[in-house]
Structure 1
Amino acid sequence: MSGFPFPHGPSVRGRLRADRGPLALTAVVVFLAVLIAAATPPLIEKAADQALADAAREAGSRSWLSVRGSFDPSSPYPPRYRDPSSAELVEATGRTADDLLAPALEPVFGPPVMRASSTVFDVSSGPAPGLSFRLVHANGAGDDPGPRVTWVKGEAPGAAEETVRRTLAPWPVQVGLSEPVAELLEAGVGDRISAGNDRRESLELTVSGVYRPQDPAEDVWQVETGLVRPETFTDTRGISQSSFSVLMSAESLPDGRLAVNPDGMNLTGVFRPEPGALNRQNAQSVTDALVLMESGAATAESGPPLEYSSGLDTVLQRTLGQIRVGIGLATVILLAVLSGLGLALFLTAELLTHRRAAVLTSTRRRGAGLPGLALELAVESVSLTLLAGGAGLLFAWLVAGEFSLAWVVPVLLLAATCGPLFAVVQAARATSRKAAPANRSARRNRRITQQMRRVAAEAVVVLLAVAALAALSQRGIVVQDTGESDLLPAFAPTLLAVTAGVLLLRLIPLLLRAVLRLATRGEGSLPLLAASRAADTGARPLPMITVVATVALSVFVLAVRATAGQDVVLPPEMLQDAQPLPAAVADGVQSLAVAAALVLTLLAVLALVLGASASAPARGETQARLRTLGLTPSDTRWITAGELLPVALVGGLVGWAVGGVLAWQAVHLLSLRVLSGGPDDPPLVVPLVAHLPVVLLLLALAGVVAVETSLRRRERLGQVLRA
């Protein structure tokens, strides 16, 4: 136990004080990464649940589950006998239909509203033509014996005195009218209404009373709206027609059955879904259960068979397909922004390593072991990661009401390990006892080995990008019912953006050498000095890759958002084929895209600033020596700008172009037509704001140059000479 490396407290505290700026920046990156990784999945899940509820609500009657029964068959010819148990049969059918409901449907559907309704009759004695109605007896959902009404005039319909219909003469039926219907018919208590239909049936109705619903929101009034108010339609000829329903009570329902032919009274029920009970966890099971019930799988042991029908299964299937597209796109955007934040963590770790290089080397040379040094750095990194990550989880919980750890754990592991790993590798290399080879052949072999390692690493990135693009092209982004996506195709845009940065690293030295050759042939020393410095530092891997990748992904996200969000004008015959993404998911994806583009743009600027900070000491030393040879502050400003220009301008422009290409491919590969609502792929839209990352990079370059020039101006000549 004596050999166990304990962390040296003063060293840890000293490094924390000396590097509090970069450490605070690292904490901000970790906080953002954890916040986005923890809050996005539950927010998207809530949006998906809301989309299902909205789809069921907007579908209206198409989302209802209807059940059809039948009354006992009887002869249409006299004598016909009044059945006083008709209302009880309606209630019993409702209980049977509810008992046969599949278990998966019970949490979604409430008790049914049962109706006995006649065929349509035309009013022949009304004040105006074009009036039609149905006789309706309805039972409220649940334990309610019927619709709850207040009789403002008269009373509930009663039964006829006779019990046997012996002739074909119209049978008297007492009915109730709602206030709007009574006003339309200009009818009151005791008035008679004559009616007939195209089957040569005649009705004689007596108005027993005028009612008003006690609770207009009650299910029975939503199902049978004609009992509340008439519906008026005007055809192309300008002729208006009004339809409504008249209310039969439990006492007058038997008379209504006698008044029409036996097949003229239908027995139906309606289960209305509770939209809030639908979510992504039960939507598929609800769909499967509905399909089984519609196929006749649910049958009663006795009594007439019941037939179920619903359009909710179609609505849910369509909405689930659209939600999968939205979640797939959200996964692509989430992976893009998390990858950008991961690159930023590498950059902050590299900056810290550059700042601590001398201290780490001297500590190592004084006898500190690598395990002890790694432990000290791990204590610092883990503490910082837990503090920033905890704050991110707290804010995610405040924003989303919950948080997901699926992507948080990888983020925390990366944040906790990349800093110590960079620093330990730097300390090990700086104090390595392995001597450099003396002969030319050995040095060449060593250089070839290093190049082969780099080529192998780059080949892995390129192969992953190609594999991801192939997977995306073949099967798209597959989203499982659990909400999990196939990660390889979802990573395709990110891997392609990183690959573009890797390939640019191969090309930028050629470009810089060409610029250097032109500078040597030109007049003046400033272009030559700027080009030489750019050739020395312009091809540093992390800043260039991060700038290209983050700019590309920012442009990609903004272009996808604009393309998917554009209004599609369709001809009337194609309007029914348009199925836009549900509003809740569309809004969630749009908001995520805006946040991701903002973060990615800021990360591109951060990459430029951190890259400039890492190379600032060497640049300052060079410029200090040149100042002793007569270099002016204005000259140093131009040299600094020229050195950093390849990362800002070339990296930004390449990233912008790559982002546009990625968005162009995404129009088809990510099924953006589903989000835009059209049947065909929408045209690519690259909004003006997509140019913002390049503009901000150039502004950041000007800011870095101004700050460095200001700092260099404060140095006195003695400091410069000592440097």
Structure 2
Amino acid sequence: MRVAWRRARADLWPLLVTVLVVALTVGLTDAVPRLLTSRSDAAVRDAVERADPPADLVVTSTYGAGMSNPESGEAETRAGVDDAAVRIQQAMPRSLRPLLGPPAADATSIDLTLSTPKVPSGGVLWMTYLWAGGEPAVRWTSGAAPGPGADGTVRLGLSGAVARVLGVGAGDRFEAKKPDHTVVPVLVTGVFEPQDPHDRVWAARPEVLEPRIVGPDGAPTTVVAGLLSAASLPPARAALEPDGVTRTFRFPVDARALDYAGSRAIVQKLAALESSPDRLNAPGPEPRLTTRLGDVLTQARQRVSATWSQAMVVLAGLAGAAVLVLLVSADLLARRRSTALRTLRARGRSLTDIAARSAAESAVVVGAGAAVGLALGAAAARGPVTWPWVVVVVVAGVLAPPAFATVTAARSEARRVPTDRHRRRMAQRVRTVRRLSVEAALVVLALAALAALRHRGVVSLSGPADLALAAAPVLVAAAGALLLWRAVPPLLGGALRVARRSRRAGGLLALARARSTGAVLPFVALVVVTTLVALCGALAGTARAGQTDGSWDSVGADALVRTPTPSSTLPDVAARLAAARGVDAVAVGRVQARANLFDAPGVDTVRVLAVDPRAYGELLARTRFGAAPQLATLAGASREAATRTEPGPLPALVPTSLVGAHPSLRWAGVTVDLAPVGPAPALPAQQPDGSSAAPTVVVDRTALAAVARAVAAARAAQTGVTLVGPESPVADPDTIWAVGPGAAAAARAVAPTGADVVGRAQWLADRRADPLAGGLLALVALVALVCAGLAAVVVVLDAAATAPDRARSLATARVLGLRGRDAARVATGELLPPTLVAAVGGVLLGVLLVGAIVAPLALRLVTGQAGDPGVVLPWWAVVPVALLTATVVAVVAVESSARRRERLGQVLRVR
């Protein structure tokens, strides 16, 4: 035990390096998967909470023909609505019950038209019965709650706001009409005020409390709802036979009860329920279950899967780099103990015994490091240990020192060397073939893993086979390092030939030493860890730049204002926005996300962008999309079409594949022939909701309206049917884009009521605050920092391994007249060239690797882009080159300081 302790104390710093490397690697690889799991759960919950419209489970059913009895009373209503909601809740699968909140139900009529003194142009009325554990709590300011009626009149209660808009009160009557123009008499029995306007019972039909105005400003439509009671619902159903009332049972989803692990089963269960809603014991003929929860969870799972893929690739690289550093450390330890190991072997100690003693020491050292790492991982995130990563690092750390010690001890044995030159050549050829076979096998394995990773794409890398795929980048880095190692001797040989022509011996000695002392293992380790730093840097830079590009793809400007329906007043709003401070350019237009296109090979649906080409071109020139000269061409070509009164082609910018074609566009009920005048410019590739946009057709908004009306007028002259009138909102705008530092704030100030305002800066901030994206970038930055430190450690370990030979050769050179300053330059020249080749080669290899794996890792799901982001290398990705250069200089400075204390007798001693 004392001998082992003295031996360990003599080589303390290499053992401490092993402890540090094992602790850092085990701590990171153990904690990160648990942290990612927590972030994945948060991402799933956040996606459900932010879903718009909400991801509730909604069961709908009609009553069916002949199922109404106006005299059935409150009991029938409670059985058909209240009790039905409870039965559906009880029939929900056990796996879904914890996710769902208490149900809310409503029985609502179809759209009924009405006309009252204050709404002479007509409006839309919904008759609705609301229930959420009970009927709404209201206070009747006049009249009373609606009761049963047998005279065919439907009795309703109205909120104060609705009564004021309609101009009616308690006791008043008006008529509502069904779509078949059948008249339904309505009696207002009372006017009420809600006791709690924020009660969830009102969420199903908020029009009961506040009227809603829809449609263009020139012809608005007022939408209101009247409140039915349990007693007045049966007469309303009888008046609206056969299918005039629909029951809706809404189950809110509690996002806090969701997690990533159980989301797959939930998606499958929801799909089964949507295909067989009869399992829920829902009333009525052919009930339906609809929900966005499955789609929301699927999209969230895709983003989580992409993040896991990227994180597993980074962790696999870190584990591989740590293993290589442990191998370099074990090699150094064996070199430092080479004399003692050979002495033990010469005294008769078996190789098995030497390996066992070394394994016992390494087990203690690695075990201490693993314990520290596991403690750090547990402190960072609680949960089960991530054993696959821990086992890889621990096994490598335990087995590497015995292997190198055994090989070093075995070298002390005398080897028989054939005297025949032919046999020596054959033996050398066998060794060369073995070495090349190993290298070729590694290259083939790396390429196969990379090809498999590119083929499979986004997966959750968790199984043993998937971990092998996650290791594809580190395998490629190792294979590339071996190939790069083959280029080092020719480079040093060329430099050596140049140095021989110099009159100074420093460069010649340095290059000769570098050529004779270079080792493949430290070089490969250095290339791999440098590649990982560049890989992490490129991933981080690409992700951040991609998020910025994603904000432009989604918003299209610094601010976007979109109204639910086209409005002729938007140009006035745009004018006020353009006059606001901090707004540089404004454009207004109509965006039709889906429109049918005919006679277009390979394209059936397009996105139509109807704008003022010149104004929109000025706006695009101030965005990342850049100037679009095609828009000026479109403006010139559309000048004649804007005043057209006869049918004719509409100039348009179309997808590149359709230039030269003669497509037709379906718009406002008519078919308009398009005349392509050029390819569409680079435009936002996504809708504001994040969905990918269809191929885009850009037209002049004024010309579109003129041509559509001309085509409609010609068709009306032939058929007598008018589809588009002179006042129809054929191309009224629904979108405003604005750029400038104050565009977002100004847009919120002038946006009309009900409009959706999206700021690009806010979109970008939300994306960067996303738990998945933020966690991934933090992980990448941390691993890059650790790998940079490991690269410096490799340089120090490699320099320490060759330090004794370098000290003897430089001391001898100093005795022969080499100055101390020149000796430092020789040492620098010996260590620096291989280090720089490895560092620069690793950076280039890392950038190439990112370009190869951006698509299969689906980084676009993290950045929010429509397509794969372009590779962006941040400046700090090349820091390892400067860091390793500084490390070499520091090592040489330390060695030079140690050589100042050498004595001439020690230098000249013959050993």
TM-score bucket of the superposed structures, by smaller chain: 0.7 to 0.9
Alignment of 1:138-217 (within 5 A): 138-140=130-132, 144-147=133-136, 149=137, 151=138, 154=141, 158-160=145-147, 163-166=149-152, 170-175=153-158, 181=161, 196=176, 199=179, 200-213=183-196, 216=198
SS at match of 1:406: helix
TM-aligned CA distance change 1:350 to 1:72, over 3 Å: same
CA distance in 1, matches of 2:465, 2:266: 22
SS at match of 1:210: strand
SS at match of 2:376: helix
Aligned length: 695
Q: Which segments of 5 or more consecutive residues in structure 1 lack a partner in the other structure?
A: 1-8
Q: In the alignment, which of 25, 28, 45 is matched to residue 37 of structure 2?
A: 45
Alignment of 1:234-383 (within 5 A): 237=217, 243=223, 245-254=225-234, 256-257=236-237, 263-296=243-276, 298-299=278-279, 304-305=284-285, 306-383=287-364
Superposition CA RMSD, Å: 3.3
TM-aligned CA distance change 1:398 to 1:246, over 3 Å: farther
Deviations 1:257-276 (CA, angstroms, capped at 9, x unpaired): 46756633321111222223
TM-aligned CA distance change 1:493 to 1:90, over 3 Å: same
Map of 1:686 onto structure 2: 873
1:411 partnered with 2:400: no
Map of 1:27 onto structure 2: 19
Partners of 1:87 and 1:253 within 8 A in 2: no
Letter in 2 for 1:558: G
CA distance in 2, matches of 1:551, 1:444: 37
SS at match of 1:668: coil
Letter in 2 for 1:597: A
Letter in 2 for 1:643: E
TM-aligned CA distance change 1:484 to 1:445, over 3 Å: closer
Map of 1:4 onto structure 2: none
Q: Which segments of 5 or more consecutive residues in structure 2 lack a partner in the other structure?
A: 554-682, 694-766
SS at match of 2:779: helix
* Larger strand share, 1 or 2: 2
CA distance in 1, matches of 2:771, 2:207: 32
CA distance in 2, matches of 1:139, 1:68: 15
Map of 1:577 onto structure 2: 691
TM-aligned CA distance change 1:641 to 1:202, over 3 Å: farther
Q: What is the TM-score normalised by the length of structure 1? A: 0.87
Deviations 1:156-179 (CA, angstroms, capped at 9, x unpaired): 95343x64125xxx43333556xx
1:424 partnered with 2:403: no
SS at match of 1:213: coil
CA distance in 1, matches of 2:847, 2:142: 73
1:628 partnered with 2:815: yes
Map of 2:46 onto structure 1: 54
Letter in 1 for 2:784: A
Percent identity, please: 29
Partners of 2:104 and 2:131 within 8 A in 1: yes
TM-aligned CA distance change 1:225 to 1:584, over 3 Å: farther
Instruction: Give 1:499 deviation, angstroms.
Output: 0.9
1:559 partnered with 2:550: no
Partners of 2:171 and 2:189 within 8 A in 1: yes
Instruction: Give 1:89 deviation, angstroms.
Output: 1.8
1:466 partnered with 2:416: no
Instruction: Give 1:626 deviation, angstroms.
Output: 1.2
Map of 1:616 onto structure 2: 803
Partners of 1:171 and 1:258 within 8 A in 2: no
Partners of 2:116 and 2:122 within 8 A in 1: no
1:83 partnered with 2:83: no
Q: What is the TM-score normalised by the length of structure 2? A: 0.70
CA distance in 2, matches of 1:374, 1:529: 38
Between 62-71 and 626-635, the greater mean CA deviation after superposition: 62-71
TM-aligned CA distance change 1:171 to 1:221, over 3 Å: closer
Letter in 1 for 2:855: H
CA distance in 2, matches of 1:210, 1:449: 95
CA distance in 2, matches of 1:368, 1:455: 34
SS at match of 1:61: coil
Letter in 2 for 1:94: A
SS at match of 1:204: strand
SS at match of 2:192: strand
CA distance in 2, matches of 1:470, 1:721: 58
Deviations 1:45-102 (CA, angstroms, capped at 9, x unpaired): 22222222222222243522211123364499xx943532213320122133224433
Partners of 1:175 and 1:248 within 8 A in 2: no
Partners of 1:543 and 1:647 within 8 A in 2: no
Letter in 1 for 2:21: V
CA distance in 1, matches of 2:388, 2:37: 14
CA distance in 1, matches of 2:895, 2:217: 80
Alignment of 1:376-525 (within 5 A): 376-402=357-383, 403-430=385-412, 432-476=413-457, 478-479=459-460, 486-525=466-505
CA distance in 1, matches of 2:4, 2:171: 97
Report which structure shows greater RCO (CA 8 Å, sep ≥6).
1
Map of 1:587 onto structure 2: 774
CA distance in 2, matches of 1:619, 1:427: 23
Instruction: Give 1:486 deviation, angstroms.
Output: 2.4
CA distance in 2, matches of 1:45, 1:484: 18
Alignment of 1:700-715 (within 5 A): 700-715=887-902
SS at match of 1:267: strand
Instruction: Give 1:674 deviation, angstroms.
Output: 3.1
Letter in 2 for 1:164: A
Letter in 2 for 1:420: P
Q: In the alignment, which of 95, 99, 105 is matched to residue 108 of structure 1?
A: 99
Between 380-389 and 197-206, the greater mean CA deviation after superposition: 197-206
Map of 1:5 onto structure 2: none
CA distance in 2, matches of 1:355, 1:54: 56
Map of 2:596 onto structure 1: none
CA distance in 2, matches of 1:388, 1:184: 76
TM-aligned CA distance change 1:219 to 1:366, over 3 Å: farther
CA distance in 2, matches of 1:319, 1:163: 51
CA distance in 1, matches of 2:850, 2:371: 35
Map of 2:700 onto structure 1: none
Letter in 1 for 2:155: P
TM-aligned CA distance change 1:240 to 1:302, over 3 Å: closer
Deviations 1:299-330 (CA, angstroms, capped at 9, x unpaired): 47795232212222222233323332222222
Partners of 1:51 and 1:583 within 8 A in 2: yes
1:134 partnered with 2:123: no
CA distance in 2, matches of 1:188, 1:323: 54
Instruction: Give 1:455 deviation, angstroms.
Output: 1.7
SS at match of 2:854: helix
Q: In the alignment, which of 488, 495, 516 is matched to residue 536 of structure 1?
A: 516
1:71 partnered with 2:63: yes
CA distance in 2, matches of 1:513, 1:301: 84
TM-aligned CA distance change 1:709 to 1:58, over 3 Å: same
CA distance in 1, matches of 2:215, 2:284: 40
TM-aligned CA distance change 1:197 to 1:702, over 3 Å: farther
TM-aligned CA distance change 1:515 to 1:300, over 3 Å: closer
Map of 2:109 onto structure 1: 118
Letter in 2 for 1:48: S
Between 395-404 and 529-538, the greater mean CA deviation after superposition: 395-404
CA distance in 2, matches of 1:528, 1:300: 86
Instruction: Give 1:506 deviation, angstroms.
Output: 1.5
Map of 2:4 onto structure 1: 12
Map of 2:755 onto structure 1: none
CA distance in 1, matches of 2:168, 2:349: 103
